[in-house]
Structure 1
Amino acid sequence: MATIVKTESGTWKAVIRKRGFPTTIKTFRLKRDADDWARRTEDEMVRGMFVQRAPSERLTFEKAIQRYLAEVTSTKRPMTQTGEHKRAAPLVAYFGKYSLAAISAELVAQYRDKRLSGEDRKDASGKPVPRAPNTVRLELALLGHLFTVAVKEWGLGLTYNPVLNIRRPAPGPGRTRRLDKGEEVRLLAAVDGHSNPMLRWIVRIAVETGMRSSEIVTLRHSQVDLVKRVVRLVETKNTMPRTVPLTVEATNLFAQALANPIRPVGTDLIFFGEPGRDKVRRPYNFNKVWLDIKRSAGCSDFRFHDLRHEAVSRLVEAGLSDQEVAAISGHKSMQMLKRYTHLRAEDLVAKLDKLKA
């Protein structure tokens, strides 16, 4: 039987001591609530359904996400760590003061809807600022994995993961931005005219190979084989290493980059930056230069990652099969590959004409 005692502060404390179970204590404002809780808890113990909820009731979401970032996020790659720290901020702003036990599927759904509608953030004129569906998807993924870790590893007594019971925002259609002939001429002319030749090599290599910017700028000498005309990528976004074949143009570009006469002694990076305060050289950071370059070329809305879209689409247009393109680009599924492949309608018209000829 449970013991119900009145405390000096006027509240009621229920204490359950049952063989085979940890001593369970909870305090209530009313004696009736203490009796009800004790009866339900003892019944759960008898039926083998008892879960020690106290840890999850005491732990706030803010403390939980701090533990997650320290124990789980810290084991991931630097870029992933940066993204998760950024996504944790709006989650803390909304759920921070709630205990983990108090976060329900309904509450998570409200968070999703407010983020998508922009109710939680207004611009200077008071107009809502909606978040992109994929942004909210990634935030919910972080929240969901925190609950998964809390249930499976932390032993907090949570009975379920509330994120599993809500609808996720549908993924966006993906960008379809490609370069037209005039834009390509202006953009490449602008990068060719930049004072640092590394920008020229990086941009043109991206067009020729479809590699991501992070994959290009972190390349080291040992990864490039000009004889076999391949680049071996060890760390990629999807964690799967791959070997990228090089066109003749890409091979020439890498040969020029490897022969860069201003490369400092002892630097293995092909595309290197200036030493930081710690005297360590890191990959060439060309973000600001790229923004200025594309603005001067009249294509401000063109992102560097769109060069990957352009390259993959050109590989498809050249007649390579989906499997061959995926082997080069590193896409794990044909569905993801199709999101990155955007064929020009005018080119398809020309092919249709050939079929009838």
Structure 2
Amino acid sequence: RVARGENPAEEIAKHHAEPTIANLGERFYTEHVVKRCKPRTQNEYRRALDIFIKPALGSFKIGDVTRADISKLHASRSDIPYQANRTLGVLSKMFNLAEEWGLRPDGSNPCRHVKKYPERRKERYLTSEELARLKAVLAECEADGSESPHVCAAFWLLLTTGRRLGEIQTLKWSYIVGGYMELPDSKVGAMRYPLAGPVRAMLARLERLPNNPYVIAGHVEGQHVTDLQKPWRRIRALAGIPDVRIHDLRHNAASLLANRGVSLQVIGKTLGHKQIQTTLRYAHLTDETAQKAVDDLADGILGEAPIGRLHQAAE
């Protein structure tokens, strides 16, 4: 190699100076995640970097990582498919940016063609009986003071608007304008959401705490309630629905709208979905709604004549 005019020592030094995946992870976090993502998403990315990516690939040079390396990391987390897939997604974004920043050749993302694991979805929908029990418990908790009126209001809003937990938790009174909830920074950007009459009436009754801009006001002056999980565990236990998560209330809103004949486009716009596929996943139809649909279809085709009689007439 020396005879060919090459300098092995210089090449080795150059390779040692190349940034590592650990370096890429930090640049990705500071230049992309912090600037573009919400705090909760930032925490998820930080966790993926620190717990899964850096220990496995942190010392690798950015240009040395192959698809086999990514596949090995992905396979090592096969027992937690959801986390394995999220980690793969973080890595894919990192390598896309590495190409954009000139740290890898274009089209060289090693995450391409690494197949994600199937994930079992855990949507949980409330039956009419469960919903009735939940409403009764919320009313009772508010009446006897076992939960603060602001905590109860949070769950009423989650039930009746289908909004995301973070949107309700950080809702400010200044966002309530003329019968609308105007969210300046929802997951899909700025959004204007109409409020139903009973919801407006509930908000009108809810006490506004001095020096606190938040609707769901916490005990600390000027702050919102930071933990709704603990009161939710108490409330759902009383309602006899211990497996229902807070996010399931959003699923339930989409399901209820679908069962009332609201179009998927309107449901998606109402709930702030970016993609219709998300609405399809949420908009669960009850057996009763599905049965009514097929009955209506058959009635439209057959009228009142039984199929056997139609068949005989055709012969």
Post-superposition shift, 1:93? 2.1
Residue matched to 2:186: 236
The residue type paired with residue 176 of structure 2 is V
Instruction: Tell whether the 8 Å contact from 2:63 to 2:103 is kept in structure 1 after alignment.
Output: no
2:50 pairs with 1:102 = no
Deviation at 1:4, TM superposition (A): 6.4
CA spacing shift, 1:132–1:189, aligned 2, 3 Å:
farther
Change (3 A) 1:354 1:150: closer
8 Å CA contact 1:221–1:270 kept in 2: the answer is yes
Residue number in structure 2 paired with 1:123: none
Q: Is the 8 A contact 1:232 1:242 kept in 2?
A: yes
- Which residue of the partner structure matches residue 256 of structure 1? 205
Q: TM-score, normalised by structure 2?
A: 0.82
Q: Secondary structure at the match of 2:262?
A: coil
Deviation at 1:209, TM superposition (A): 1.2
1:82 aligns with 2:43: yes
Q: Does 1:25 align with 2:17?
A: no
1:348 and 1:297, CA in 2 relative to 1: closer, same or farther beyond 3 A?
Answer: same
Which residue does 2:150 correspond to in 1? 198
Measured in 2, the distance between the counterparts of 1:27 and 1:181 equals 69
Query: Do the aligned residues in 2 keep the contact of 1:14 with 1:27 (CA within 8 Å)?
Result: no
- Other-structure match for 1:69: 29
TM-score (norm 1): 0.73
| Structure 2 SS opposite 1:232 | strand
Distance of aligned partners of 1:191 and 1:87 in 2 relative to their CA distance in 1, 3 Å threshold: farther
Q: Deviations 1:194-252 (Å, cap 9, x if unpaired)?
A: 33012221112212111111111211112113x4x3211221123x2222222222222
- Number of aligned residue pairs: give it: 291
- The offset of 1:285, in angstroms, is 2.5
Deviation at 1:143, TM superposition (A): 0.8
Runs of 5+ unmatched residues, structure 2: 305-315
Q: State the distance in 1 between where 2:261 and 2:295 align.
A: 17
Q: CA deviation at 1:136?
A: 2.3
State whether residues 20 and 60 of structure 2, in contact with CA within 8 Å, keep that contact through their aligned partners in structure 1: yes
Paired residue secondary structure (1:234): strand
Tell me by how many angstroms 1:173 deviates: 5.7
Higher helix share: 2
Structure 1 counterpart of 2:125: 178
- In structure 2, C-alpha distance between the alignment counterparts of 1:27 and 1:212, rounded to whole Å: 52
Cα distance in structure 2, aligned partners of 1:323 and 1:68:
35
- Partner of residue 212 from structure 2, selected from 244, 260, 267: 267
Q: Which amino acid aligns with 1:304?
A: I
Matched, 1:60 2:20: yes
User: SS at the partner of 2:181?
Assistant: strand
Describe how 1:187-226 pairs up with structure 2 within 5 A.
Answer: 187-192=134-139, 193=141, 194-225=146-177
Instruction: Tell me the residue number matched to 2:258.
Output: 316
SS class of match (2:160): helix
| Structure 1 spans left out of the alignment, 5+ residues | 6-12, 17-23, 29-52, 117-129
**For the Cα contact (< 8 Å) 2:151–2:225, is it kept in 1?**
no
Cα RMSD for the two superposed structures: 2.7
Q: Partners in 2 of 1:252 and 1:280 — Cα distance?
A: 24
CA shift in 2, pair 1:157/1:184, >3 Å: closer
Q: State the AA in 1 paired with 2:196.
A: T
Q: Does 1:166 align with 2:114?
A: yes
Among all aligned residue pairs of Structure 1 and Structure 2, give the percentage whose two residues are the same amino acid.
23
**Partners of 1:175 and 1:98 in 2: how far apart?**
36
Larger radius of gyration: 1
Structure 2 residue corresponding to 1:287, chosen from 217, 223, 229: 229
Which residue in 2 is equivalent to 1:37?
A: none
